[in-house]
Copies of this chain bind each other. A is one copy, B any other.
Amino acid sequence: MKKLACFGAGRIGQVHATNAAAQLGVALIYLVDPVDTPARTELAAHTGANITNTDTVFDDPSIDGILIASSTNSHGDLLMRAAKAGKAVFCEKPISLDFALTQQVMEAVEASGIPCMMGFQRRYDASFRAVHARIASGMSGSLEQLTMFSRDPSPPPRSYVETSGGMFRDSTIHDADMARFLLAEEIATVYAVGACLISDEIGVAGDVDTLMVTLTTVSGRMANITACRRGPMGYDQRLEALCAREVLNVENQTQTHMTVSSADGKRLAAPENYFIERFRQAYAAEMEAFVDLLENGKAPLAGIRDGYEAQRLVEAALQSYQTGVPVAFGADWTPQGGAA
């Protein structure tokens, strides 16, 4: 029986805590969230966890691992404490919005040798994973051009934009991670354009709401990320991988399989509302993988270094957007003067 603690009782904390509690051979012992809400109470009741504070978790030697689903600015500190306490970690992205701290935490975690898995759930989605597996099997031939479409249903409020690190760091990091996962090669150049086209509030907050990133790898392969804070069809997460022998696409997952045909044509159902619905099975698969890491030492699809590298990539995209010229990326590039 593996004993876990979960930090965060918000939307994503509920997902991870519930999935962890439903695993055979796992007990969720603690739930930590400083804010006393009905959601926290209900989540504790449903999962059988005790509500407690951070120190209790790290002082309890019976706890095997922690789930970090708390606010972004707490991730770095919790990772450092877990590294020190020798507890396994499942951590939601990002490591930190401060790049210097991200690097420092990554190095500490690696030095500690604790099992650590980053929550890039797309890697565990059946469709994205099938694309990765098919390319990795050699069946498709070399991946030459990768295109990702990544659009949210509607723009977040200004308050969220101001604390989340902005669109590149908060949202595009998922696409950057997927690009790294599929290209599986060192990135050579990063170029980005961005604009505030749809939300005045986001412009006031100094961020973009619409962007495109172009990457090349050292062997000349290329990728494009096309992202927007608003998707007219709702949550819109698609991908196209041109390979030497075939083209692989990930299409949206619709809410039902009903189609409606009339004089206007045949209409498919709308995509799943948002990430909680779209990636429901991916989140469950992610938690199974974390348990597999705990019990059997099986390496996860994304580790702490993947968290670091995806952040490094979006820092380069942000810098390119800000300067208007491509960034000569490579193994050693880091943002000038730390993250803005």
Listed in ascending order, the chain A residues whose CB lies under 8 Å from chain B are 22, 24, 46, 126-127, 130-131, 134, 141-142, 144-145, 147, 149, 151, 189, 191, 193, 195-198, 210-212, 214, 216, 219-222, 224, 226, 228, 230-234, 236, 240, 242-271, 324-326
Contacts and interface: CB of A to CB of B under 8 A. Distances in A.
Copies of the polypeptide in the assembly: 4
B210 A222 contact: yes
A128 B122 CA distance: 29
A24 B228 CA distance: 38
Nearest to A233: B261
A22 B24 contact: no
B259 A270 contact: no
A143 to B, nearest CB: 10
Contacts of A236: 247
Contact of A233 (B142, B232, B265, B324): B265
Nearest to A245: B232
Given A245-B262, A247-B262, A266-B267, A214 B193 contact: yes
A251 B259 contact: yes
Contacts of A248: 258-261
A127 B233 contact: no
B196 A220 contact: yes
B216 A195 contact: yes
Given A144-B210, A260-B248, A269-B265, A255 B195 contact: no
B127 A198 contact: no
Contacts of A126: 255-257
Contacts of A221: 195, 197
Given A260-B246, A260-B248, A262-B232, A214 B216 contact: no
